[in-house]
Amino acid sequence: MSRTVLTVVGARPQFIKASPVSHALLAHGGFREILVHTGQHFDAAMSDVFFEELDIPPPKYNLEVNSLGHGAMTGRMLEKLEEAMIAEKPDWVLIYGDTNSTVAGALAAAKLHIPVAHVEAGLRSFNRRMPEEINRVVADHLSATLFCPTQTAVDNLKDEGITKGVHHVGDVMYDVTLAAVERAKGRSRILEIHGLSPKSYAVATIHRAENTDDPARFAKVMQWLSDRAKETPIVMPVHPRTRKLMEKSGLTPAGVRLIDPLGYLDMAWLTHNCAAVFTDSGGLQKEAYFHRVPCVTLRDETEWVETVEAGWNRLWINEDYKPRRDISDYGTGKSSEKIAALLSSAG
């Protein structure tokens, strides 16, 4: 008998994470998946081309909730997600990561007594000033099944008293990255467009609130990038919010090539061929490792401690990398297949 999975996503990284799981649910058989886009991150690039790149169908629901404060956004999402869940009567609600869409999906499902499955469960930065940390904790405590990318994530949940329904499946982003590199080889022209040679440049991205909401902190980040650009050419796809802040503050990193946000395949190919990554993005830290590119994280802590312990990543407040090794925790690129099998056998 077919089981209905309602997948809640709201930000571009969540669509990317959902794509291999959607493929795995389809390949496994016995699932009907309904994709709901909350609209949290409105992005004109979220078009048919984007879905074609990921090889997934467009969402059945687009709730168009964006450009609001945390409370208003989450509340509006709750209202609309509840309506979709009542209409579709799913057997599972599947959520990803740590956004307002994540926590709204968890709350709406829990109040309707629909089991919640959380992909990327158990991550902790232990900084409750980050809205993402609050979202992670709440989502995990409302979830019936928790798919952890690492053993550290499993241990974090155990420390909070969560042991039932916890599975270490590896990281779905590894699945995505391996597939994206193969597709990008024959399709992406990003290096030619910008006149770049492999391993001759670094990639930078800045968008986290902790770096963009504090003027002094933002100035420090811009100066750090300017200093690095004296040593290595830097290409920086600029998040719309970051670009607005640059224009408002008059602060831009000297010597850094600022470009528009990229499609997923172009970004994967740009990262795959770079010499280093400088970012405050949680996802890009891991992707740098998947591409075997060293990363500097422009934050004072990271939820991806494995990348630091394995010597592929370091915080900008630290001078040196630890000795480098591979990370077995992230799996072999088959995490999505494990998730589909576990959902099929659960509850």
For 296, residues 6+ apart whose C-beta sits below 8 A from its C-beta are 276, 277, 278, 279, 313, 314, 315, 316
What is d(CA 121, CA 140) in angstroms, rounded to the nearest whole number?
A: 6
**Amino acid identity, residue 191?**
L
The two tokens of residue 14 are 């969540």
Name the catalytic one among 118, 168, 207, 291. 207
What is d(CA 59, CA 48) in angstroms, rounded to the nearest whole number?
A: 11
3-state class (DSSP) for residue 50? helix
The two tokens of residue 309 are 């312990």
What is d(CA 92, CA 115) in angstroms, rounded to the nearest whole number?
A: 5
Q: CB atoms < 10 A from the CB of 246, how many? A: 18
Residue 322 Rama label (left phi>0; alpha psi -120 to 50; beta): beta
The two tokens of residue 124 are 């902790």
Q: Under a CB-based contact definition with an 8 Å cutoff, are residues 27 and 339 in contact?
A: no
Handedness of CA 27, 29, 34, 38 (dihedral sign): negative
Q: Under a CB-based contact definition with an 8 Å cutoff, are residues 41 and 14 in contact?
A: no
* Annotated catalytic residue 207: yes
Burial of 123 (0-12, 13-18, 19+ CB in 10 A): buried
Which DSSP symbol is given to 66?
A: -
**Amino acid identity, residue 178?**
L
Q: CB atoms < 10 A from the CB of 133, how many? A: 18
Q: Which residues are catalytic?
A: 207
